Amino acid sequence: MENVQERLIPVHLLSGFLGSGKTTLLNRLMDYYKAADVKVAVVMNELGEVNLDGQFVDQSVPMAEMLSGCICCSISGDLSMELKSLIDEHQPDVILIEATGAANPMEIMDAVTETAMFAHIDLRSVITVVDGPELISRSRRGGKTFRLMKDQIRCATDLIVNKADKLAPEELVEVQQLVRELNSYAPLEATVRCVTDLSRFDRDAKPAGVKPQAAKSGDEEQSLPDGAHVHDESCGHAHGQCGHGGHGHSHASHDHVMTWTHYLDKPVNSHSFEAFMKGLPDNVYRAKGIVTFEETGSRYMFQYAYRELECTRITPQAPVNDVAVFIGEHFRKDELLSAIHAQW
Ligand SMILES: Nc1nc2c(ncn2[C@@H]2O[C@H](COP(=O)(O)OP(=O)(O)OP(=O)(O)O)[C@@H](O)[C@H]2O)c(=O)[nH]1
């Protein structure tokens, strides 16, 4: 009899709060698989109306874009359809899903395991990228965002404490302790820009034999790595805590996160742009987009995460508008718009 496990397509879910480094890891994983001649397909999910991170993804990689919503709630039903059509059209060897930073991985795990009932996929890992400095700062303040970060850590089968370059040695110890208190079983590594030995995620050749709940189709067993069965316990609690309450959940864990997409109709002055970004209120903690600087006429992708701005010159692979996406908590869109009109 054919071994069903051998022909299941492994799925890896990349989780982690906004700006923690998921796309950085996704790109590394794509390069890793490409070098190993493994055909990878990607599902990218963005809260905004445009897939900015997708700009940097190799065009030859089959990609499903799920925009303007979070796959853990508003469009979780679509995830199954996207996965199914990626498989039918491209027959990938492995699928990577990058969730929005606002997503609770538990809901996505549900959607993936539901899909496993009619497609031959197998959720192999939930890799949570933790923004080290941000976790420390949020742990001191508490609140909904900290609760969401904790849920993301609890559900992980693999943990990366990223942005170690921004942590003093004693802070690194503090973050690792915090993470360990929430999840004592997942392998944990501290990284800078998610540089890690990616073979640690490569369980594709050796499916583990742990069977999670509700992931069965006929005699096909779905598997998660060793220890992942602990999900039933830790995420079961997280579920309750974050108000999901199983199906028909309320998304209480992240409904405080809001997003605003603003399209630009002209180039901007780079100095005014920088000054504007530096002056963003604290409750806008993430922004990204594409702008044309009027001084040179060149286009730049900008990334703003927790008060740090990075601009990278780009040549978009497909037509894309100049656009800025702002993500935060309860910020005033009208105030941002007035400031943009005044300063850009
Ligand atoms: N200093 C520092 N910056 C990093 C590190 N890793 C990533 N970054 C930067 O942090 C920003 C966010 O990184 P991304 O990989 O886009 O994060 P993300 O989790 O995909 O962000 P969202 O998709 O918005 O949730 C970018 O400007 C990265 O260059 C790191 O280890 N150290």
What is the predicted pLDDT for the residue at 201?
A: 74
> Looking at domain 4-241, which of 3.30.450.270, 3.90.1150.10, 3.40.50.300, 3.40.50.1370 is its CATH number?
3.40.50.300
| DSSP characters over 132-166 | HHHHHHHHHH-SHHHHHHHHHHHT-SEEEEE-GGG
Pocket test for ligand 1, best of 13, 18, 23, 98 (most atoms within 8 A of CB): 23
Per-residue pLDDT tens over the stretch 276-328: 999 999 888 888 888 999 999 999 989 898 788 999 898 876 677 788 888 88
Which residue, by CA, sits nearest to atom 12 of ligand 1? 19
Hey, how many other C-beta atoms are within 10 angstroms of the C-beta on 3? 8
Q: What's the CA gap between 315 and 318, in Å, rounded? A: 9
Give the rounded distance of the alpha carbon of 27 from its chain centre. Answer: 12
Instruction: Please give the model's pTM, rounded to 2 decimal places.
Output: 0.72
Three-state DSSP class for 145?
Answer: helix
Does 28 sit in the ligand 1 pocket, CB within 6 Å?
A: no
Which residue, by CA, sits nearest to atom 26 of ligand 1? 303
What is the predicted pLDDT for the residue at 159?
A: 95
Q: Which CATH architecture has domain 257-343?
A: 2-Layer Sandwich (3.30)
Which residue, by CA, sits nearest to atom 2 of ligand 1? 163
Domain ranges of the chain: 4-241, 257-343
Give the tokens for residue 130: 């933790």
pLDDT mean by block of 10 residues, the chain; 344 residues: 62 91 94 92 78 70 75 68 89 91 76 74 89 95 88 90 97 96 92 92 47 31 32 31 34 59 89 94 86 92 88 78 82 89 87
The single residue listed with the structure tokens 């302790």 is 177
CB 204 within 8 A of CB 124: yes
What is the predicted pLDDT for the residue at 333?
A: 84
Q: What's the CA gap between 69 and 52, in Å, rounded? A: 14
Closest atom of ligand 1 to 16 CA is: 19
CB 58 within 8 A of CB 317: no
What is the predicted pLDDT for the residue at 181?
A: 93
Residues 6+ apart with CB under 8 A from 5: 122, 207, 221, 223
User: Is there a common fold for 4-241 and 257-343?
Assistant: no
80's enclosing H/E stretch is: helix 76-90
Per-residue pLDDT tens over the stretch 125-165: 889 999 999 999 999 988 888 988 998 998 888 999 999 99
